[in-house]
Amino acid sequence: MFKEVLASDAILLKCILHDWNDDECLKILKHYKEAISRQNKKGGKVMIIDMVLMKNDKMIGEAYNSTKMLLFFDMLMMVLVTEKERQEEEWAKLFFTVGFSNYKITPILGLRSLIQVFL
């Protein structure tokens, strides 16, 4: 993951970044941003499939149950690898610190979301 990456238009990371602390995530994202920048000065992206914790605790029904499950996974990550699931604000901080210009989060099947991060 920290070795040379060929120039690319897009990179997909599935269930990777929740295993790493913020400093390591920044290194990973910088590494892939450089690979995309070599190929495209504008228009490249990193696609991340991972969990995004909801901040709104007033959810009901299915959304509430999903939030409970996400919090369970957050605790599990903390116990197993001393890392965590992230809220949208935490993801955004990582992306903008690395120098990405924008991101879009789209909930997909189950607990995971597709996070598109743009140059």
Say how many C-beta atoms besides its own lie within 10 A of residue 105's C-beta: 16
Set 18, 31, 93, 112: catalytic member: 18
Instruction: For residue 18, indicate whether it is catalytic.
Output: yes
Sheet strands (E) in the chain? 10-14, 45-53, 86-87, 102-107, 112-118
| Rounded CA separation 108/114 (Å) | 6
Q: Which of 84, 17, 19 is nearest to 48 (CA)?
A: 17
Catalytic residues: 18
